[in-house]
Structure 1
Amino acid sequence: MVPERFSFPGHDGTELAARLDLPDGPRLATALFAHCFTCGKDIVGARRIAARLAAMGIAVLRFDFTGLGHSGGEFENTTFTSNIADVTAAARALEARGMAPDLLIGHSLGGSAVLRAAAEIPSARAVVTIGAPFDPAMVTRNFAEALPEIAAAGSAEVQLGGKPVRIGQGFVRDISETELAPAIRHLGRPLLILHAPRDEVVGIDNATRIFRAARHPKSFVTLNDADHLLSDPDDAEYAAEVIAAWAGTRVRLRPPAPPIGAPEGVVRVAEADAEGFLQDVTNGPFHHALADEPMAYGGTNKGMSPYGFLAAGLGACTSMTIRMYARRKGWPLDHVSVDVTHDKVHAQDATPEIASKIDQFKRTIRLEGALSEAQRQKLMEIADRCPVHRTLEASSRILTALVE
């Protein structure tokens, strides 16, 4: 992921601060992310979702609404309508750069905003909401005790998320008059709704109402025990995985031809967590896996280790090679499976010039079907012709055993 500072004029011309996360390779699509009420573009959930989408070739723009984060302007003078206008202004800024958004993602009130703004962003092919309120006016519950002062004085300072924020009367009036149902009903795009059943800020019933108001195609995925802000990295990771998988089916991603000398394309590995060892492993926009280290080695055990991937490559190549040969011969091979383990062992022929330990892969093959003994033995010979086997054999020892 290649981060880039990005700014654009908001609804009233005030400069808004944004971050554009670009893929390391070709850009296949663009997403626009709208954050939650009084949050910012850099919360955990937004960062992880942006990183995951960028890994599959989707650039992500996240920005701070007027008066929040690093953006200019006074939040006191904003309204829900101005939030929507900020979203459309961000879309226009992307379009001016030749990157009109294909995907809209909104968190909490940002989700409500993208549902309303979608009609004004014709390039958007799909919409995602995370913990979004069906009735935007419900956010006033967070500062209900200040409503009389806001009505009398025109504004009041309230504490939201541990931060002082000044809310104006125009915001309260505007949000109380907003109705999302018509916009949802006429969205005209695939919709993914993510919501946590235990969300104490925006209840799960909001997701139910959004889902009922929407027309197909629509999807509803629960976020298990996540809180409203997806503050747990595991919850942010899960949301990112769901959005990436869903977006891959809804946004037309057309990867370019692989570079010369790399017929299978580029396998790209990028850090998903700079504080640990979690890695995003991608091969184009459609193939993704996580690599990690076991907890005993300082990792979080969310993916296979590097040696696990190496063993998986050997096992997969072995199985495919056996199947290919049996299919060509018309032999009755019903099923094949391969177990692979890896270890460091002492080399019998070690010399002072060669390290005393080498890598050893132990391969256990199971062949099911009415095969003759001669056929079984031939397939075992074929296993050693697996291209990955030959690659590893140049510097590693591979032990193979057949089990019934």
Structure 2
Amino acid sequence: MPTEQITIATTRGYDLAGALEMPTGLVRGAAVFAHCFTCTKQSKAAVEVTRALARQGIATLRFDFTGLGGSGGDFGRAGFASDIEDLVASADHLCTRFGGPILMIGHSLGGAAVLAAADMIGHDRIAGVATIGAPSDVPHVLGNINGDLAAIERDGQGKVTIGGRAFHLSREFLDKTRAIDLPEVVGRLRLPILIAHSPTDQIVGIENASALYEAARHPKSFISLGEADHLLTRADDAHFIADIIAAWGARYLPMKADWPHPENGVVVCTGHGKFGTEVHTPSHRFVADEPRGHGGDDTGPTPYDLLNAALGTCTAMTMKMYADRKGLPFEGARVAVTHERDHGRDCDHCEEDDAKVQALHREITLLGDGLTAEQRDRLIEIADKCPVHRTLEGSLHIHTTRSE
């Protein structure tokens, strides 16, 4: 997916660094993703979830909280309240650009932050909230800090390590982190909520998910992450929850009524990135693109893939229809189609010797042992009679008009 590097202004005089994952095609809505404690927008969960949502047509922002990654400010003085302020600023940015309502998704402490921020932002601008491994007891996160917290409270600040990294924390950080009753906040929300958690999470126990789920109102959903660890370090776990959240989120950001759905034919709309387009048929939509090696984002089949597929699918359908009508013991076919741009030199039916003729090469494998040799030959003959084959080899004209 195309990725935009953006900055988000805060009311505290510094900017947050963000990466906005854009759909290749049209935008159906927007979402913001909050990363885990001391992580950054480049964490595996942040990248996987935001890109999965973009594939569903949802522009999704991941950003660095105050003092982390590329964002300004002092992490040691920020605390949980600052995380909420960062999310409010990010949600404002998305609502201004794309309109609301938006989805809010958070991982670990970021999950707690999106729940608290949704309560502040307002239900009219939030379509739903999803959490991954979120704590119900926000001060629980202080247990992951290696350092003398009592000394910080006494002296006002001190050095600590979190996840092997050194930080300076202030008394203000501790106070802001402790001053939240998350289950009480969740109980006030009147929003769709998805809670995902691993029963084997060794950092934030599964009882946290139970407390959040019990406090939440319907519509609420729970997804078990099986044997996943807290940080979703296994690619399969990150892919799984990313696709689940994308499918869940699409329910609350429905297709826009003004998107093109032709009565016949297709409508192709330019999208984001260099080559991305979105194809609409009367009942389907999908993305076409170019490979990365050709400057695209590789988010969908290429135009020539679609051309090859048109011939291949029509061939398979035509043979199946004939076999069913004749009662043949046909168990299916595998049709491989490739495109050759310059077929002139070995073309044996060109009018001019130097003509540049293109060709489609089709290889058909008939499946099943019950067909006789005669039946196989007849099915190959039928393949040449498929409608797309006839169109491509017929006298085809393309007429272009401009619509005002």
TM-score, normalised relative to structure 1? 0.71
Q: Residue in 2 aligned with 1:204?
A: 206
Counterpart secondary structure, 1:362: strand
Letter aligned with residue 245 of structure 1: A
Find the aligned partners of 1:19 and 1:31 in 2 and give their Cα distance. 12
* Residue 67 of structure 1 pairs with residue 61 of structure 2: no
Amino acid at match of 1:90: S
Partners in 2 of 1:380 and 1:191 — Cα distance? 54
Residues 260/194 of structure 1: CA separation in 2 closer, same or farther (3 Å cut)? same
Per the alignment, residue 42 of structure 2 pairs with 42
Matched residues, number = 362
What is the CA distance between 1:95 and its match in structure 2?
2.8
The 1:97–1:358 alpha-carbon spacing in structure 2 relative to 1, beyond 3 Å, is closer
Say if 1:267 and 1:283, in contact at 8 Å, map to a contact too.
no
Query: What residue number does 1:161 align with?
Result: 163
Call closer, same or farther: CA 1:320–1:44 in 2, change over 3 Å: same
Residue 239 of structure 2 corresponds to 237
1:122-159 Cα offsets, whole Å, 9 max, x none, are 31111111111111111111016532222222222222
Q: Identity over the aligned pairs, expressed in percent?
A: 39
Which residues of 2 match residues 47-58 of structure 1 at below 5 A? 47-58=47-58
What aligned pairs does 1:377-392 form with structure 2 within 5 A after superposition?
A: 385-387=385-387
Tell me the amino acid that sits aligned with residue 248 of structure 1: A
| Pairwise CA distance, 1:166 | 2.2
Structure 2 distance, partners of 1:262, 1:77, is: 58
Task: Output the CA distance in 2 between the equivalents of 1:393 and 1:222.
Answer: 54
Query: What residue identity is the alignment partner of 1:175?
Result: T
1:174/1:309 Cα in 2 relative to 1: closer, same or farther (>3 Å)?
same
Q: Structure 1 residues 34 and 392, CA, compared in 2 at 3 Å: closer, same or farther?
A: farther
1:16 aligned partner: 16
* 2:125 counterpart SS class: coil
Write the distance in 2 (CA, Å) between the matches of 1:379 and 1:283: 32
Distance 1:388 1:206 in 2: 57
One-letter amino acid matched to 1:191: I
In 1, Cα distance between equivalents of 2:27 and 2:152 = 46
Q: Tell whether 2:102 aligns with 1:102.
A: yes
TM-score by length of structure 2 reads 0.71
1:256 is matched with which residue? 259
* 1:223 aligned onto 2:217: no
Question: Could you say which residue in structure 1 is the equivalent of 2:398?
Answer: none
Between the aligned partners of 2:337 and 2:287, the Cα distance in structure 1 is 26
Q: Which amino acid aligns with 2:142?
A: T
Deviations 1:343-397 (A, max 9, x none): 99xxxx998x99xx9955334478xxxxxxxxxx999987665445667999xxx
Q: Equivalents in 1 of 2:215, 2:333: separation in Å?
A: 49
Residue aligning to 2:116: 116
SS in 1 for 2:245: helix
Q: Which residue of 2 aligns with 1:83?
A: 83
CA distance in 1, matches of 2:134, 2:108: 4
1:242 aligned counterpart, secondary structure:
helix
Q: Distance in 2 between matches of 1:269 and 1:315?
A: 29
CA contact (8 A) 1:34 1:63 kept: yes
Q: Residues 193 and 220 of structure 1 are in contact (CA less than 8 Å); yes or no, is this contact kept in structure 2?
A: yes
1:2–1:311: structure 2 CA closer, same or farther, 3 Å change rule? closer
Corresponding residue number in structure 2 for 1:340: 334
CA distance in 1, matches of 2:250, 2:55: 12
Q: Which residue of 2 aligns with 1:398?
A: none
What does residue 27 of structure 1 align with?
Answer: 27
| CA offsets 1:159-214 (integer angstroms, 9 cap, x no match) | 22332122222222333231111222232121122222322221222222222222
Structure 2: segments with no counterpart, 5+ residues:
292-299, 339-345, 349-353, 369-376, 395-404
Distance (whole Å) between structure 1 residues aligned to residue 168 and residue 49 of structure 2:
29
- Aligned equivalents of 1:288, 1:198: Cα separation in 2: 38
How is 1:126-165 mapped onto 2 (pairs within 5 angstroms)? 126-143=128-145, 145-165=147-167
Q: Secondary structure at the match of 2:205?
A: coil
Q: Flag the 1:153–1:138 CA change in 2: closer, same or farther, 3 A.
A: same
Q: Given residue 256 of structure 1, which amino acid in structure 2 is its aligned partner?
A: W
CA distance in 1 between counterparts of 2:28 and 2:223 reads 25
Gaps of 5+ in 1: 271-279, 293-302, 367-376, 395-404
